[in-house]
Amino acid sequence: MALLDKDYLNYPERSYGMDHDRYEWSMLQDRKAIAWPNGKKVAVWINVGLQYFPLNQKGIPFKVPGGMTKPYPDLRHYSLRDYGNRVGVYRFLKAFDRYGIIPTFAMNTRLAERLPYLVGTLKERQNEILCHGYHMDSLHYGGQDLKEEKALVQKSLDGLRELMGQEIKGWISPAKNESANTPDILANNGISYFCNWVNDDMPYNFKTKNGLLTAMPLPTELDDYFIINHNLHSAQDWAEQVEDAFGFLLKESATEGGRILGLNIHPWVLGQPHRIQYLERILDYLGNHDDIWTASASDILKAWKDNS
């Protein structure tokens, strides 16, 4: 059996905690305690994924989660995603307003180009919009040509900013996938926070060649698609897991400072008539809890920066 070369574990970024220089390694419990406005214990960020999955997806370098699975034309799955953007999202909006919850919307630029009625609705509401890439099949990935990725990021951000008429400061890559260049490109295009990394419960500073980004925590583990469609749990199970997560974060906040409950949800998943009641249950539960501060992603980030 061949032995490892003696230099295998010796390389430029070999260091304590992690083997890169993107952020400072630290333990969550050792950080400065955060105090949310008005003495609230848990900041709640409801992020709504507004997505366009092309019918003729290319799947480069992989088939995106939630995309087409049948031979072309996969109208079954394509039309279900479309259902979310015509029907399910309006159930979401009614529920948010009924229970006094402030949502943030992560939108594919291609969807904004295709659906002016939805753009108009969101502009009237004036909720925060962040960019979810161009569309769900326009992936960012290792080995991607640098010029190609730069052009893709610029097209996505310039297009969404123009269509929405607001400053776009946040980003989630399709499938939360990225190349080693993605954070640098985002910082160079006016992005201040991104949500691709799921390795923490609180924000942290992320170094790029073009200045700092903030990594915002948006856990995959509480994503409705991940729990219901990937893990094959029921919508009731999703609601119970959200309640469990909130209960734990609230308990933790008593000794370690404010926490963030980030929920990534999709109208084509929870906007169904047999599931919407579980979203309403969660919004009612959160909206009536005295220890919760519901806010946009940017407002939560600002409060964190003011405290840290």
- For 116-172, write each residue's pLDDT tens digit: 999 999 999 999 999 999 999 999 999 999 999 999 999 999 999 999 999 999 999
| Mean pLDDT on 44-71 | 97
**The pLDDT of residue 10:** 77
- Tell whether 262 is covered by a domain: yes
- Tell whether 18 is covered by a domain: no
**The pLDDT of residue 192:** 98
- The per-residue b/e assignment along 274-308, b for 16 or more CB within 10 angstroms, e otherwise, is ebbebbbbbbeebbeeebbbbbbbbbbbebbeeee
Percent of the chain with pLDDT over 70: 99
**The pLDDT of residue 83:** 98
Q: How far is it, in rounded angstroms, from Cα 111 to Cα 135?
A: 7
Q: What is the pLDDT of residues 187-209, one digit of tens each?
A: 999 999 999 999 999 999 999 99
Q: Which amino acid is at 14?
A: R
Furthest C-alpha separation in the chain:
67
Residue 251 reports pLDDT greater than 70: yes
**The pLDDT of residue 15:** 78
Per the structure, the complete domain to which residue 197 belongs is given by 31-307
| Mean pLDDT on 258-272 | 98
Mean pLDDT over all residues of the chain?
Answer: 96
Q: What is the pLDDT of residues 92-108, one digit of tens each?
A: 999 999 999 999 999 99
**The pLDDT of residue 72:** 96
- Tell whether 15 is covered by a domain: no
| Mean pLDDT on 213-220 | 97
- Tell whether 139 is covered by a domain: yes
Confidence at 292, pLDDT banded by 50, 70, 90: very high
- Domain containing 117 — which CATH number? 3.20.20.370
- Tell whether 43 is covered by a domain: yes
- Tell whether 26 is covered by a domain: no
**How many domains would you assign to the chain?**
1
**The pLDDT of residue 99:** 96
Residue 7 reports pLDDT greater than 80: no
Q: How far is it, in rounded angstroms, from Cα 67 to Cα 204?
A: 31
- Tell whether 56 is covered by a domain: yes
| Mean pLDDT on 223-241 | 98
- Tell whether 25 is covered by a domain: no
Report the residue count for the chain: 308
**The pLDDT of residue 1:** 58
Nearest to 242 by CA among 214, 222, 220, 216: 222
**The pLDDT of residue 4:** 77
Q: What is the pLDDT of residues 266-277, one digit of tens each?
A: 999 999 999 999
Confidence at 6, pLDDT banded by 50, 70, 90: confident
